Structure 1
Amino acid sequence: MGKEQREFPRVSSRCIVGFSSVGDDQRFHKMRQSSEGLLQNISGGGVCVRMDENPGTGQLLALTIRLPQMPTSVIALGKAVWTQPVDGGTDVGIEFWWVGWEDAGAQEQIRNFLSDSLRESSAPAD
């Protein structure tokens, strides 16, 4: 099998992600009240979040991502495109449909965070 092709490189990062389900499906009533998950990685196209509950593929989610390096939260709307059961929950791949920031400088800070993280991960070890 060939190497997986990605449009955007991923950066591993661990932080809390607030999320809530968007829509009227009664199965997700608890999630609509807002829950939290743990970010596994982030890219320009989406995130992987470890959640206690599996929202199922196709579910729209409102996200609040609190990267520790950022002075403001990233807010996003995304769609769960895959799920994978893991110890302690479910990893959920969420494709960004819309991303916003609480201030004008946040987009540049996110771009710099991703760029710096990618540069550090590709630097040769001493």
Structure 2
Amino acid sequence: MNAPPHLELDLLAFPKAVPDLRRAVRQHLGAPCADVQLCVTELVANVIRHVGEGAPVRVRVVRVDGRTRVEVADPDPRALPVLLCATGGDESGRGLALLDAMALRWGVEQGEAGKTVWCELGEADYA
């Protein structure tokens, strides 16, 4: 039996939800996928930090044309991600830098109902 073409989960952005989310991504992809799991974790962590704990999010993981696309949508169109240059003493600010280093590309789509931050990884990054 083949896995569905995409994983779509609606949840509230709480730190306690992240381990279950990582497991769901791993189960959906059916292979070790640390890079994909890290991207999902970082994007949800950004929602928790910049939009607020408990914000409703929709997480989608889709395989398309040899790539895996991760999308995290939240209701705040104003809290846009910013790629920072964290220094050795900084305790935060590295999440998007990690995502930027691992992903083939990433971006933000804004709408009236919020925004979606997405990234794409190559299949070989976890298969």
TM normalised by structure 1 equals 0.34
TM normalised by structure 2 equals 0.34
Higher fraction of helix: 2
Higher fraction of strand: 1
**Radius of gyration: which is bigger?**
1
